[in-house]
């Protein structure tokens, strides 16, 4: 390849017009000279990352960006996150992502992130769950903060289970969003999951850590929400499909796991947190270094998504500007002009107004050697619609970059 390629992902960055911003989106309102440079120098359009018939979750969105065939390769978020953490599972195991959550006295979901426990508290919660709920068939594994793993082992379980996303249901009754079977084969799995949730709620509510947090007035987790279960399937790698080697830089397990499953090298960055206090400069430097011996780097930033779910407009604008000025600009400045191909996009929208993922196609800007720029001057949800790329879907972006 003549040029190396970086794919910048601002998770959940796309939004909708907001009255308090004068009818602009956060992307339009924020100061983003680096993103605008990419739009101005390149070609622009949209990409459908959350097609109908698949969950509106980040695993689906990032699989779409990376050119996976969802119909044949979709495997569930839990399996990818477990793989990202190096958790060994058997092919017949069913793996769920499980959120630590907070449920109020009326049984409504008050915090899908369980008070955002630090890793020490997370480990304590998971220890309680394994001691009081776990068994030979039920294993909990600590992840990062509220994001953890539940494995149903030993076979006999099914993926024919419908689970709702916790971050789509703030304020809603937990009892109305329990797992449901989609076939007779899934009924055994659903019955066990519901028992696990009931036992876990009792164990967490009565554990010493939760009691201490309640007394001190701190946020706490008192239940769990399993979702997106599945088993890891063989994915076709970018090396197989496009002949390119790659690396992934992210702080969250689902992206790390997806990258590893696609044969990408996962590069850890000290101080990468999965929130807006992440080490932007460290991620930029790791991207620059990784491009020395990889054809492309998938650089993912989670913080924009987290504050969108929190419906915090001020922090979303700050997160977008930090991504632009502290990470993207730093990478651009490290390369001579015309020696780096760039793709820039969110993985999905999370409008601050609702704090949930939507299926609206995301804006995309691409700079590639040999492709003449279109007339778009700024990177945002409105201007990219005017670009020459049109409305892309499936593996269109990866083909554009690498074929």
**For residue 140, what is the enclosing H or E element?**
strand 138-144
pLDDT at residue 2 in the model: 67
DSSP code per residue over 175-238: GGG--EESSGGGHHHHHHHHHHHHHHHHHHHTSHHHHHHHHHT-----EEEEEEEE-PPPPPPH
User: 3-class DSSP state for residue 271?
Assistant: coil
User: Of 240, 245, 265, 345, whose CA–CA distance to 5 is shortest?
Assistant: 245
Q: Do 380 and 341 share a structural domain?
A: yes
Describe the crossing of helices 58-65 and 77-84 by its angle, rounded to 10 degrees: 80
Q: Do 333 and 270 share a structural domain?
A: yes
d(CA 337, CA 99): 44
Tell which of 206, 230, 254 closes a domain: 230
Q: Do 226 and 104 share a structural domain?
A: yes
Contact 21, 320 (CB under 8 A): no
Q: Do 392 and 276 share a structural domain?
A: yes
d(CA 265, CA 251): 14
Q: Do 46 and 97 share a structural domain?
A: no
Q: Do 374 and 260 share a structural domain?
A: yes
User: Of 167, 161, 138, 142, whose CA–CA distance to 229 is shortest?
Assistant: 161
pLDDT in tens, 196-207: 999 999 999 999
**For residue 150, what is the enclosing H or E element?**
strand 147-152
Contact 345, 65 (CB under 8 A): yes
User: 3-class DSSP state for residue 139?
Assistant: strand
- From residue 372, alpha-carbon distances to 28, 40, 97, 187, 202 in Å are 24, 11, 43, 55, 61
Tell which of 203, 230, 257 closes a domain: 230
Q: Do 171 and 42 share a structural domain?
A: no
Q: Which residue has the tokens 């593996």?
A: 395
Geometric angle at alpha carbon 269, from 305 and 296, rounded to 5°? 80
pLDDT in tens, 148-185: 999 999 878 999 999 999 999 999 999 999 999 999 99
Q: Which stretches of the chain drop beneath a pLDDT of 50? A: none
Q: Which residue has the tokens 């924020």?
A: 30
Strand partners, 299: 8, 249
Describe the crossing of helices 119-132 and 187-205 by its angle, rounded to 10 degrees: 120
Strand ranges inside 84-133, DSSP E: 94-103, 109-111
Q: Do 277 and 212 share a structural domain?
A: no
Structure tokens at 312: 């915090």
Structure tokens at 6: 């970086």
Count of structural domains within the chain: 2
pLDDT at residue 26 in the model: 98
Structure tokens at 294: 């990889």
Contact 163, 226 (CB under 8 A): yes
User: 3-class DSSP state for residue 361?
Assistant: coil
Return all residues near 173 (Cβ < 8 A) that are at least 6 apart.
Answer: 106, 107, 108, 109
d(CA 52, CA 56): 9
Q: Do 391 and 375 share a structural domain?
A: yes
Domain span at residue 167 reads 82-230
Tell which of 181, 214, 230 closes a domain: 230
Q: Do 385 and 238 share a structural domain?
A: yes
pLDDT at residue 233 in the model: 75
Q: Do 275 and 163 share a structural domain?
A: no
Report the CATH number that the domain containing residue 56 is assigned in CATH. 3.40.720.10
User: Of 262, 270, 266, whose CA–CA distance to 244 is shortest?
Assistant: 262
pLDDT in tens, 204-237: 999 999 999 999 999 999 999 999 999 887 799 9
Q: Do 103 and 218 share a structural domain?
A: yes
Whole-prediction pTM: 0.88
Structure tokens at 63: 């699989």
Q: Which residue has the tokens 């504050």?
A: 307
């Amino acid at each position: 390849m003549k040029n190396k390629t970086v794919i910048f992902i601002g998770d959940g960055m796309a939004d909708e017009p907001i009255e308090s911003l004068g009818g602009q989106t956060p992307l339009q309102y924020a100061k983003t000279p680096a993103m605008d440079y990419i739009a101005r120098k390149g070609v622009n359009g949209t990409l459908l990352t959350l097609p109908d018939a698949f969950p509106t979750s980040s695993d689906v969105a990032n699989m779409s960006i990376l050119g996976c065939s969802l119909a044949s390769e979709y495997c569930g978020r839990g399996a990818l996150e477990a793989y990202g953490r190096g958790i060994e599972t058997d092919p017949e195991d069913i793996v769920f992502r499980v959120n630590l959550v907070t449920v109020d006295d009326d049984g409504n979901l008050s915090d899908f992130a369980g008070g955002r426990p630090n890793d020490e508290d997370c480990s304590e919660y998971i220890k309680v769950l394994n001691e009081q709920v776990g068994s030979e068939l039920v294993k909990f594994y600590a992840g990062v903060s509220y994001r953890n793993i539940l494995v149903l082992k030993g076979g006999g379980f099914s993926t024919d289970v419908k689970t709702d996303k916790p971050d789509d249901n703030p304020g809603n009754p937990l009892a109305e969003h329990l797992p449901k079977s989609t076939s007779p084969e899934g009924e055994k799995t659903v019955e066990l999951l519901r028992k696990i949730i009931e036992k876990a709620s009792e164990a967490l509510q009565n554990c010493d850590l939760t009691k201490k947090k309640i007394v001190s007035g701190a946020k706490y987790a008192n239940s769990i929400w399993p979702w997106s279960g599945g088993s890891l399937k063989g994915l076709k790698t970018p090396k197989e499909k496009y002949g390119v080697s790659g690396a992934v830089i992210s702080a969250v397990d689902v992206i790390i796991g997806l990258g590893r499953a696609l044969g990408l090298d996962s590069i850890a960055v000290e101080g990468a947190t999965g929130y807006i206090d992440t080490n932007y400069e460290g991620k930029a430097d790791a991207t620059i270094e990784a491009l020395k011996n990889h054809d492309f780097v998938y650089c993912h930033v989670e913080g924009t998504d987290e504050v969108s779910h929190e419906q915090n407009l001020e922090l979303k604008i700050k997160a977008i500007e930090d991504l632009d000025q502290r990470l993207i600009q730093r990478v651009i400045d490290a390369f001579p002009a015309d020696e780096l191909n760039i793709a820039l996009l969110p993985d999905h929208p999370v409008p601050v107004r609702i704090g949930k993922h939507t299926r609206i196609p995301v804006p995309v800007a691409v700079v590639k050697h040999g492709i003449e720029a279109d007339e778009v001057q700024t990177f945002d949800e409105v201007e990219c619609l005017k670009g020459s790329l049109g409305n892309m879907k499936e593996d269109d972006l990866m083909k554009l970059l690498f074929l």
